[in-house]
Chains A and B, each alone.
Chain A
Amino acid sequence: MKVALFVTCLNDTLYPGTGKAVVRLLRRLGVEVDFPSAQTCCGQMHVNSGYIPEAIPAVEAFVDAFAGYDAVVSPSGSCAASVRHQHEMVARRSGNPSLVRAVEALAPRVYELSEFLVDVLGVVDVGAYFPHRVTLHPTCHSSRLLGVGDRPERLLRAVRGITVVDLPAASECCGFGGTFSLKNPDVSVAMGSDKARHVRESGAEVLVAGDNSCLMHIGGLLTRQRAGIRVMHLAEILAATEAVA
């Protein structure tokens, strides 16, 4: 099976540690992952802001980069959901039938990390060690658009040394919402502040999620509040082992 990493533009640019963690994790599980360097972005920022034709180059770049792979794995529920649910609409807007066909063929082979681990590799215990108290923000796009269900939580609970505590009102949106966070900053921050309060109430040392976009928002609030709670991508916890942790 030829597997490619779709690292996403956000992780590529701001959170390279998450991409490195996915590479280490998959390599440990015996999967050699490629990083096709032609990849850029899923185009979601454009689509969700209403700039739909402007997303066409990103969708074309995505198809160019990944069409030759059996599976594409991404450490972002939101970007995987964009590929699976929005690319076809963008491709239709391009008026290019071959792009539509390419997108239709590729989109079902794109997996969010927890889906890839549980459904494709069939593993729940990835051999990780992380002796800390964590809580999980399920993220709206992972749970509602992709329907990953309890996969992230099962993966977390199988980590040795970990304590997983419940996050109050876990399913509520953190308020990031892409450009929503800039177009409606006051509402976004109000939602995020409630999420940050729930994270503090959970008693966790680390907030975990499958999307660094949500974590950038919640984490930005937590550090501004000097809450002393770290945020980490799920991949980074699953990549951690006893050796140095």
Chain B
Amino acid sequence: MTTGPMTRTATFLGMPPFPVAARKALADSQLRGNLRDATHTIRTKRARVAGELDDWEQLRVAGAAIKDDVLANLDRYLQELEESLTAAGATVHWARDGAEANQIVVDIARSHGVEEVVKVKSMATVEIELNSALEAAGIAAWETDLAELIVQLGNDLPSHILVPAIHRNRSEVREIFLREMGKAGMAARPDLSDDPADLAGAARRHLREKFLRAKVAVSGANFAVADTGTLVVVESEGNGRMCLTLPEVLISVVGIEKVVPTWTDLEVFLQLLPRSSTGERMNPYTSTWNGVTAGDGPQEVHVVLLDNGRTKVLADELGRQALRCIRCSACLNVCPVYERVGGHVYGSVYPGPIGAILTPMLRGVGTDEATDALPYASSLCGACFEVCPVLIDIPEVLVHLRGKVVDSHRGGVPAALQAAMSAASWTLGRSGRLELVQRLAGLSGRVLGRGGLIGRMPAPLSRWTDARDAPAPPRESFRRWWARTDGGRADPGSPPGTPGKAREQV
């Protein structure tokens, strides 16, 4: 048995931009099948349990309003949280960025001389790549959430907020367990089947050994109640609770936007989160703790309050609504883009629609191609906004961020699209200019079109015509027809009150 760090922890850094990565993911039919089945199952469950509540829409409005109040008064609530936590015996640390937060956690772990920590599923610690930092300090970080364990043992990356191993099927999980568990601790039995209960049993035996041995645990928090200093973790497996109760030292890394004012506010989110997330009325395990309780649970409790770009998001008047996010992943499960490409292609711990707005704001746009591609990774269909439990208008923020991406690249030599957009802007500013372009298009349609359709065209139009026919421009635009026939009154082919010809003949 080894307690040393695992081999390299995988990273999202340096991944190709969305359109390139998406092309590869789309070709993986196993992945597409897994994702379609999983997302459709969860989305159906969510719709059913959200539909049960008469006050679901009011809950959404309340959730958004509470978070907006928190964001508008974040300074005050954070100070209140710090005071309550400190009074309850916790030590509060402030971290400007991931590096600071990681150093704080490493220093605490080192002060206890440990070579390993157990971890509760936490988005914030994946965001700051804490496991890599611990590994570099010679400390192994064991993920104890079943799906995170699958991801970690497979030296893989999470592809979903709620179900990080959604891209794996059970036979892949069996292979990973057989191959990797022995290297990280208790091995799986060689006769392990791919039956879910059997796989869960192997994980239970593997993890239990770690729970019982670990001196230090690391968690995140779904919510931090300001007036009582209570941290809250919402989970399904109970493995989180093992980490939160068994070790002597507990370190929680909490994004500063996780604060809620009171337990009354918490009540709203404890209804919204499980129904939106797993499609359950209530999640199986909700753990809450207030600092240190003598003789019960961890006797040394640390809370690291993490900024890491959140105040930058807060400064964006329209974009700040993304900080309402409670990481339910409902937007991923209904997104037609996510469903087809999965989470890895977003190149971030936050995939799907919420990731497409949150990641560029946390990182800042205009610096690298992969980040700038994210706001464009959406057809703006609006399915995400329809299900968001805290009413984040994701399509609105996507468009807003597209504007920021474009603005950040202004001033240099115009790229092809920018030149085309400028030309179109000029054309569409005056109807006479539009008419001129239409007449040219009508001429080209007569040259290129067959039966009203255009087949294959050269790049960049091949992006359309590789898989789709394009309509050939008609001989006469609508405005020319209107002018020629006095609005159809003088059109013998189309007198008022009679139907038009089929589209192909127009």
Residues of A within 8 A of B (CB): 7, 9, 11-17, 19-21, 23-24, 27-28, 33, 35, 37-41, 43, 45-52, 54-55, 57-58, 60-61, 65, 86, 140-141, 144-145, 171-173, 175-193, 216-217, 219-221, 223-224, 230-232, 236, 239-241, 243-245
Contact = CB atoms under 8 A, between A and B. Distances in A.
A19 B503 CA distance: 12
A193 B428 CA distance: 32
Contacts of A37: 431, 479, 482-483
B406 A49 contact: yes
Contacts, number: 241
Contact of B464 (A39, A45, A175, A181): A181
30 contacts: A12-B477, A12-B479, A15-B474, A16-B477, A21-B499, A23-B488, A23-B496, A35-B479, A35-B482, A37-B431, A37-B483, A41-B434, A49-B421, A50-B405, A51-B425, A54-B422, A57-B425, A58-B428, A140-B380, A173-B381, A179-B417, A183-B19, A184-B19, A189-B466, A190-B26, A191-B340, A223-B453, A239-B499, A243-B498, A243-B499
Contacts of B402: 48-50
Contacts of A231: 503
Given A40-B434, A180-B378, A16 B481 contact: yes
A216 B381 CA distance: 17
A64 B488 CA distance: 24
Contacts of B471: 14-15, 216, 220
A224 B377 contact: no
A54 B453 CA distance: 30
Contacts of A175: 336, 379
B470 interface: yes
A173 B464 contact: no
Contact of B469 (A54, A223, A240): A223
Contacts of A38: 431
A40 B428 contact: yes
B56 interface: no
Contacts of A33: 487
Given A16-B478, A46-B425, A58-B429, A173 B501 contact: no
Interface in B354-389: 375-383, 385-386
A24 B500 CA distance: 9
A220 B26 contact: no
Interface of B: 18-19, 22-23, 26, 336-337, 340-341, 375-383, 385-386, 399, 401-407, 417-418, 421-422, 424-431, 434, 437-438, 441, 453, 460, 463-464, 466-471, 473-474, 476-479, 481-483, 487-488, 494, 496-504, 506
A50 B404 CA distance: 7
B429 A60 contact: yes
Q: Is the interface of B mostly helix, strand, loop or mixed?
A: helix
Given A13-B441, A140-B382, A190-B340, A240 B496 contact: no
Contacts of A181: 463-464
B47 to A, nearest CB: 11
Contacts of B467: 185, 189, 192-193, 221, 224
A240 B494 CA distance: 12
B471 to A, nearest CB: 5
A178 B395 CA distance: 13
Given A177-B380, A184-B377, A191-B379, A16 B474 contact: yes
Contacts of B407: 50
B240 to A, nearest CB: 34
B187 to A, nearest CB: 40
A230 to B, nearest CB: 7
Contacts of B406: 49-52
A208 to B, nearest CB: 12
A191 B340 CA distance: 8
B453 A61 contact: no
A175 to B, nearest CB: 6
Given A16-B474, A216-B471, A24 B26 contact: no
Nearest to A17: B506
Nearest to A45: B424
Nearest to B24: A186
B270 to A, nearest CB: 28
A61 B478 contact: no
Contact of B503 (A58, A145, A236): A236
Given A50-B407, A187-B19, A189-B468, 16 more contacts: A13-B478, A17-B503, A17-B506, A40-B431, A57-B430, A58-B425, A86-B399, A173-B383, A180-B379, A184-B22, A189-B466, A192-B467, A220-B453, A220-B468, A220-B471, A236-B500
Nearest to A60: B429
Given A184-B19, A220-B468, A223-B469, A21 B379 contact: no
Given A16-B474, A16-B478, A190-B26, A184 B488 contact: no
